């Protein structure tokens, strides 16, 4: 029971700190789950994050569900997921109750502008971390360049790009293994 309560509290803490969506969550996940508690390796978190992006639904919730299931099975997945969404639910209810009364106040507008700027910084930080760990060699760059180009300049669905990247990774791995590397 204590570990389930800890899962709920940790993911509630992550949920309350995760402004800006899934990308902004990666540094917080890393700090809370890998660095502070040693519950997961950073590379493992990035794998769950990548899988969560390919799944339907909210990335943060998917990661919480995967992680909770790994720690404590289905009940762990449910508890971690509830921990992740509970703070957002409470915050959204509170904001919805009062936002119309304050949305046009200059200080509120300025606060939201500042928060948006901080979210951009968090996303850039996440991209740099992902770059360092995920695009670390020539084969990864060979996958990254065309996938980035297709993503940025065409309407190819992201799910198809994820599958293509996985297939390319398997093919490159097979070629490497065939060469004895």
Instruction: Give the pLDDT means over successive 10-residue stretches in the chain (181 positions).
Output: 90 79 75 87 81 79 89 94 90 82 84 88 85 86 94 92 93 86 57
72 in the same domain as 17: yes
pTM over 0.75: no
Report the candidate in 29, 46, 15, 27 with the shortest Cα–Cα distance to residue 126: 27
106 in the same domain as 27: yes
Whether residue 63 contacts residue 52, with contact meaning beta carbons closer than 8 Å, is answered with yes
130 in the same domain as 79: yes
**CA separation for the pair 18, 110 (Å, rounded):** 20
> Given this model, what pLDDT does residue 21 score?
64
Number of domains in the chain: 2
Q: Which residue matches tokens 């957002």?
A: 88
149 in the same domain as 85: no
> Given this model, what pLDDT does residue 43 score?
82
89 in the same domain as 29: yes
159 in the same domain as 121: no
83 in the same domain as 57: yes
180 in the same domain as 105: no
147 in the same domain as 121: no
148 in the same domain as 113: no
Q: What domain range includes position 67?
A: 2-134
Q: Which residue matches tokens 């204590």?
A: 2
124 in the same domain as 56: yes
> Given this model, what pLDDT does residue 163 score?
92
């Amino acid at each position: 029971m204590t570990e389930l309560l800890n899962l709920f509290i940790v993911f509630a803490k992550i949920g309350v700190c995760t402004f800006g969506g899934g990308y902004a969550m990666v540094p917080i996940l890393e700090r809370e789950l890998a660095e502070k508690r040693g519950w997961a390796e950073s590379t493992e978190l990035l794998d769950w994050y990548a899988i969560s992006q390919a799944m339907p639904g909210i990335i943060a919730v998917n990661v919480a569900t995967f992680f909770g299931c790994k720690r404590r099975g289905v009940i762990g997945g449910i508890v971690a997921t509830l921990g992740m969404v509970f703070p957002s639910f409470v915050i959204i209810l509170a904001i919805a109750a009062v936002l119309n009364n304050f949305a046009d106040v200059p200080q509120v507008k300025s606060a939201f502008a500042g928060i948006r700027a901080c979210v951009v910084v968090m996303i850039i930080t996440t991209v740099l971390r992902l770059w360092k760990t995920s695009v670390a060699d020539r084969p990864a760059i060979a996958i990254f360049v065309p996938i980035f180009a297709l993503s940025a300049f065409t309407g190819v669905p992201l799910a198809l790009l994820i599958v293509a990247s996985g297939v390319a990774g398997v093919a490159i791995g097979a070629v490497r293994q065939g060469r004895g590397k």
